[in-house]
Amino acid sequence: MFIFRPKVSGLRYVPSNGPVIIASNHLSFSDSIFMPLVVSRKVTFLAKSEYFTSPGLKGFIKKLTFIALGQVPIDRSGGKRSEAALLTGLRLLKENHCLGIYPEGTRSPDGRLYKGRTGIARMAIESGAPVVPVAMYNTAQIQPTGQIVPKVRRVEMVFGEPMYFTGDSSDLDVLREATNKLMEKIAELSGQEYVPNMYASEAKDAIKKSREDDDQIEIDEE
């Protein structure tokens, strides 16, 4: 860890006990490694149960890796996939855990900050837990998507003041407003360009389609 010379500010905003949600931008797989290492308490993440049940040696190594990172498997086979994560998250917060969440739902495909998923707002409102926004820097350069061995560069993390959300957790407008406020704060901390009208998953699909279209044009021109 010391070779990456982590620069951290605002760590005092993470409470030493009680339920709390740490909400971070998501640029690289290594986000889930660096951030928990600087927080004085265990950070628990929610992960798809498929990550824990893959066959063979590779699957076993993956399972051990996710367990070591404090990931909790979510069985999404029954009902809405998001509902399983929400209920598990609420249970962990009730047990005074520190829950790590990436509101974008997946890694940013191009370094921009995308529209947040409203599940985090629902968890915050129903649990009463504070949400600590976090901005990660340089992790996309340290470990780009698909690269196993990380590059040695300095990593930086900025923790912001806790945010509290109240209101009717069944009202989608309330959830969206709260989520937008959180994402705007993360954008302020990270300096990323904020794209409030598109999810990161949609951006990934658009980029993939654009590349496929380009490949098709090249084939047609041959």
Percent of the residues in the chain that have a pLDDT greater than 70, as a whole number = 73
**Inside any domain, residue 29:** yes
| CB-CB contact of 31 with 24 (8 Å) | yes
Per-residue pLDDT tens digits for 179-204: 999 999 999 999 999 999 999 999 99
pTM (predicted TM-score): 0.81
| pLDDT number for residue 78 | 44
Instruction: Write down the pLDDT at residue 218.
Output: 55
Q: Is residue 61 part of a domain?
A: yes
User: Looking at residues 138-148, what average pLDDT do you find?
Assistant: 67
Beta bridge mates, 99: 21, 44
Q: Does any domain span residue 189?
A: yes
Which CATH number does the domain housing residue 190 bear?
A: 3.40.1130.10
How confident is the model at residue 77, as a pLDDT? 47
Residues 122, 83: Cα–Cα separation, whole Å: 11
Going 23 to 29 to 31 to 32, the CA torsion angle's sign is positive
* pLDDT given for residue 219 in this prediction: 52
Q: Beta strand pairing status for 156-159 and 98-101?
A: unpaired
Q: Is 32 helix (H, G, I), strand (E, B) or coil?
A: helix
Residues 81-94, mean pLDDT to the nearest whole number: 86
Gap between the Cα atoms of 119 and 176, Å rounded: 9
User: CB–CB of 8/137 below 8 Å?
Assistant: no
Q: Which residues contact 140 (CB under 8 A, 6 or more apart)?
A: 27, 28, 108, 111
Range of the domain at 142: 2-197
212 within domain boundaries: no
Q: Report the pLDDT averaged over residues 168-172.
A: 96
Please, which residues bridge with residue 156 across strands?
Answer: 7, 137
Residue 188 lies in a domain: yes
> What is the arithmetic mean of pLDDT over 23-44?
90
Query: What's the total number of domains in the chain?
Result: 1
Is there a domain that residue 133 lies in? yes
Q: How far is the C-alpha of 76 from the C-alpha of 152, rounded, in Å?
A: 36
Q: Is residue 222 part of a domain?
A: no
pLDDT tens-digit profile of 88-120?
899 999 999 999 999 998 899 999 999 999 999
152 assigned to some structural domain = yes
Higher pLDDT, 44 or 54: 44
Supply 182's token pair. 């959180």
Rounded mean pLDDT of the chain?
84
Measured distance CA(28)–CA(60) in Å, rounded: 22
